[in-house]
Structure 1
Amino acid sequence: MRVLIATFAEKTHFLGMAPLGWALRNEGHEVLVASQPELTPVIAATGLTAAPVGRDHLLPQVAAWARRLGQGGEPAFDLLAREPERLTWEHLQRGYREALLPLWWKVINESMMTELTEFCRWWRPHLVIWEPLTYAAPVAARACGAAHGRLLFGLDLAARLRGHYLRLMAGRTGGDRTDAMASWLGSRAARHGGLFSESLTRGDFTLDYMPDSLRLDTAPGVRRLPMRFVPYNGRAVVPDWLRVPPDRPRVCLSLGSTATDRLGGYVAPVSEVMEALADLPVEIVATLPPGRHTGVGTAPDNVKVVGYTPLHVLAPTCAAVINHGGSGTICSTLLYGVPQLVLPHHMFDEPLLADLLVKQGAGLAVPAGERDTPERTRAALQRMLAEPSFSREAARLSGEMRAMPGPNELVPELERLAARAA
């Protein structure tokens, strides 16, 4: 079976897909990874074969322009909105038309849409696995007759939004029923003789590594296949210092790489967070990219500033992890039953994922509106280390994650799905 993994060029999103690629290769299937040229070295470093298509997207530049235009105000459209008074037809329609499509989804897809379709028609994959915002992939899969499905990188916000939109549209008896998403994907499918259907927005199936306790309700029409999370953050080496057991509770401070790679900054001032924790009887391990070491000043005595360290090796040695709420970091930590203090970024699903973690009792969160003083972070960490319930609930969720089928166990089902579409 020929399997194409397709993603727009975003390192953290792709790395979460690599373990499934390995599982498919180990079962003897041919696997290629298609993305914009920027991601080629990252793909090749995983041992999978890259197929560069199209041109690099300009999302960082567009996002910077949008931030300057908004001058730091509210985002043009908030995918996290749940209040009924905000989820109106007019609001959602405007969100698709003026924000999600022109400022995000078209930006990351249009530069690869045609070339990806041409590649699929040449290679003829039997199955296409796509990152859930890479809508060029289902269009390409449809053009070559392949089965296709999404592999989520976090909470399924796009499908939830689509479900709200379709429900509101079905209830309208007159007026404007324009569907910008359907118009966009339908026009792209039509170039190759295809028609729009909702499978272009949600796949024939959806692979989801979130445990039941942390995921959203499955959106209407989505066929969910749970798959155990396998932590992978790229090539790494275990540092010597990590082999020495700490003489105090170890706390990892990891505020994400995408924030620095794409947005130029962290969710909270690292130096202020470290200073607030300076006199606690703990060992703080702050993982910072090399270019960020000099920006934090002199670290307190109880802080070890290190470069990239594989979280799946570091987390099991920790009593707690302070992070930005990214799904990969949350799941990598939770897999080892370690409680988390989340300072959520607001790039995608981080605030909502933090809320779900707190409701399960496996951690605490200090939202952006409450981070006026670092002492709030200090108090939250002290509470989490003092109350054993946080470790107990984190261990419960770890057990839930480990009971999910691994990527290799999903391969036979993927084979059946591909055969059904042949």
Structure 2
Amino acid sequence: MRVLIATQAEKTHFLGMVPLAWALRTAGHEVRVASQPALAEVIASTGLTAVPVGRDHMFHHLLRSAKSLGLDEDPGFDMAEERGEVLTYEHLTRGVGQFVTWWWKVVNEPMLDDLVGFCRTWRPDLVVWEPTTFAGAVAAQACGAAHARQMWGADLFGRMRGLHLRLMAGREPAERRDPLREWLAAAAGRFGGEFAEELTCGQATVDHLPGSIRLDTGLPLLPMRYVPYNGRAVVPAWLREPPSRPRVCVTLGGSAPERLDGRGLGAQDMLDSMAGLDVEVVATLPARERAKLARVPDNARIVEFAPLHALLPTCTAVAHHGGAGTYATAMLYGVPQLIVPQLVTAQYLFDERTLGERLAEQGAGAVLTGDVTAERVSAALARLLTGGEAGQQARRLRAEMLAMPDVHAVVAELEKAVSSRRGRSVYGP
């Protein structure tokens, strides 16, 4: 069968899709990856076939413009919000409207027409799209393909969609407003289609989070064991030697330092907080962040990059901002986590807090929010490193992840879905 991977030009979102894409490819299927031109070289570097569509989006330019205009003090709509008294119909409708206007339209509209055009020419049997690339669902409908969403983090999208539908059901029809439906109906209508609820969350959702952590959305689900992928990597010589004392990884994530405002707690405070602990600290910091350091503690090693799937198995703990890739990789290797959402920016809140809280509930880590200081970081990390409970629970989550269906089993399920849809073998003409 022909499979199209659709993603807006966000590197970290795409990298999480690479293992499934390659599993489909090695199963004998034709696979192409469609995104805006800015991501074409990244796609090609993974060995997959890139199809540049449309023009590059301006989302990160908008974020920088908001900062320069002093508009970034307002955190905006928080998709991780869970308090019922806050999540009123009015609040949720206004928040979804903001996301549609300032996020989802911005990253999708520049690629939508060209993506549909390519799909109608190439005729994929299946489209797999990451959760902000609604253009993938619209294009699948326009060419008659099956489609599935592949998550990179907590499914706040599906949870909020379900809540919004329930709140709307309690209103009079004339009072109901659904910004996401309005936009997707107009987008599908451009190509002769119409709104269907599956345009919002796919016909199925591929999710790599274990059941203990995963959000319950009630959506059709394809659980898949996580496969770490950071792109091309070389294991440095120092990493081949076992550490002489507990090793703690500190990482700011793959894209956060570049994309965000840098007004969070920061690498310097994190390193200072660990200077008095009997640990070896390995901090992965881009050159720009390393240049900001005024001092490096004696127990710290600073490197620009180390493949997390090689580094984390040697670690006793990891401290990070809650990035989805770091989070899942640490879980897969049974490493306790200290999550500090404000590590890289004062306003960086998407699913970091949710992921951190759910991990803490399982006893496999800790999350620090509110007024985060170096002293709080040091105390929290010391608790993770002593007693053994966090390590035990982290290993339990690792076992739960290892028991999930592997990527090849998910390929088989996708093949079945496509075969049943078109009534013949996926390997047929």
Same fold (TM over 0.5): yes
**Alignment partner of 2:226 out of 220, 224, 229:** 229
Offset, 1:41: 0.9
From 344, 361, 366, the counterpart of 1:364:
366
Residue equivalent to 1:295:
292
Task: Give the whole-Å Cα distance in 2 for the aligned partners of 1:196 and 1:420.
Answer: 23
Does the 8 A contact of 1:288 with 1:308 survive in 2?
yes
> SS where residue 296 of structure 1 aligns?
coil
Letter of the 1:374 counterpart: A
Cα distance in structure 2, aligned partners of 1:350 and 1:258: 14
Q: Which residue of 2 aligns with 1:27?
A: 27
Match of 2:131 in 1: 132
Instruction: State the Cα deviation string for residues 125-183 of structure 1 (Å, max 9, x = none).
Output: 00000001100011000010000010001111111111111111111125421222111
3-state SS, counterpart of residue 201 of structure 1: helix
Matched with 2:156 is 157
Tell me the SS of whatever aligns to 2:50.
strand
**TM-score for the superposition, normalised by structure 2:** 0.95
Using the TM superposition, give the Cα deviation of residue 65 of structure 1 relative to its aligned residue in structure 2, in angstroms: 2.9
Counterpart of 2:216 in structure 1 is: 217
Q: 1:162, 1:69 → 2: CA distance?
A: 31
TM-score, L = length of structure 1: 0.96
- Report the counterpart of residue 308 of structure 1 in structure 2: 305
> How far is 1:411 from its partner?
1.2
Shift of 1:289: 1.2
Residue by residue over 1:308-328, the C-alpha shift from the partner in whole angstroms, topping out at 9 and shown as x without a partner, is 100010001011111111111
Secondary structure of 1:304 counterpart: strand
Q: Distance in 2 between matches of 1:180 and 1:382?
A: 46
Task: Please name the residue that 2:36 is paired with.
Answer: 36
Equivalent residue of 2:19, what SS? helix
Distance (Å, rounded) in 2 between the aligned partners of 1:316 and 1:267: 27
Partner of 1:392: 392
1:187 aligns with 2:186: yes
Do 1:145 and 1:421's aligned partners in 2 also have CA atoms closer than 8 Å?
no
Instruction: Provide the aligned length of Structure 1 versus Structure 2.
Output: 417
Match of 2:250 in 1: 253
The one of 332, 336, 351 equivalent to 2:333 is: 336
CA distance in 2 between partners of 1:347 and 1:328 (Å): 16
1:324 counterpart (321, 325, 328)? 321
Give, as a single letter, the amino acid of the residue that structure 1 aligns with 2:340.
L
Question: 295-304 or 102-111: which moved more?
Answer: 295-304
Question: 2:229 & 2:91 partners in 1: Cα distance?
Answer: 38
Is the contact between residue 4 and residue 126 of structure 2 (CA under 8 Å) also seen in structure 1? yes
Q: Distance in 1 between matches of 2:271 and 2:395?
A: 27
Amino acid at match of 2:353: P
| Rounded Cα–Cα distance in structure 2 between residues aligned with 1:69 and 1:226 | 43
Please give the per-residue CA displacement for 1:164-207, whole angstroms capped at 9, x wherever unaligned.
11111111125421222111111111111111010000111100
Q: Which residue of 2 is the match for residue 94 of structure 1?
A: 94
The 8 Å contact of residues 267 and 289 in structure 2, kept in 1 or not, is answered as no
- Any unmatched runs of 5+ in structure 1? none
Structure 2 alignment gaps of length 5 or more: 343-347, 423-429
